[in-house]
């Protein structure tokens, strides 16, 4: 079971890396925001998988904090004023 969880963590880490690449590449702010949300979700999933692999329940608490932070970032993005760059 640890092999399966470890391979899942590696795949999630690759997804996290691809999301970060898209953050710097994204043509609009909306694209970058979606990539940041993908990276945040991947980080939460990685922490939850590592919590099971390492038998460390404290990582679940860290994952919950990352989820809260991702929700706050999404809310801040939605509430900010629109610019001409967003309509592209």
Reported as a single tens digit per residue, the pLDDT across 60-87 is 999 999 899 888 888 888 887 776 655 5
Phi then psi for residue 28, to 5 deg, are -120, 165
CATH number, domain at 19?
1.10.287
Structure tokens at 21: 């690449």
Residue 55 lies in a domain: yes
> Is residue 85 in some structural domain?
no
Range of the domain at 13: 2-80
Number of structural domains found in the chain: 1
Pair of tokens at residue 88: 């592209």
Q: Which of 9-23, 28-42, 47-61 has the highest mean pLDDT?
A: 47-61
Whether residue 69 lies inside any domain: the answer is yes
Residue 56: the pLDDT is: 94
Q: Is 66 domain-assigned?
A: yes
In-domain check, residue 53: yes
H/E segment holding residue 58: helix 58-79
Confidence (pTM): 0.78
- At residue 43, the 3 state secondary structure works out as helix
Taking the C-alpha atoms of residue 70 and residue 43, their distance in angstroms, rounded to an integer, is 10
- Residue 36 predicted with pLDDT over 70: yes
In a domain, 86, yes or no: no
């Amino acid at each position: 079971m640890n092999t399966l969880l470890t391979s899942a963590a590696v795949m999630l880490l690759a997804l996290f890396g691809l999301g970060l690449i898209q953050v710097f590449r994204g043509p609009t702010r909306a694209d970058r925001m979606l990539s940041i949300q993908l990276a945040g979700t991947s980080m939460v999933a990685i922490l939850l998988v590592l919590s099971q692999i390492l038998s460390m329940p404290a990582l679940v608490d860290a994952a919950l904090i990352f989820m809260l932070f991702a929700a706050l970032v999404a809310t801040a993005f939605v509430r900010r004023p629109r610019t001409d760059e967003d309509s592209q």
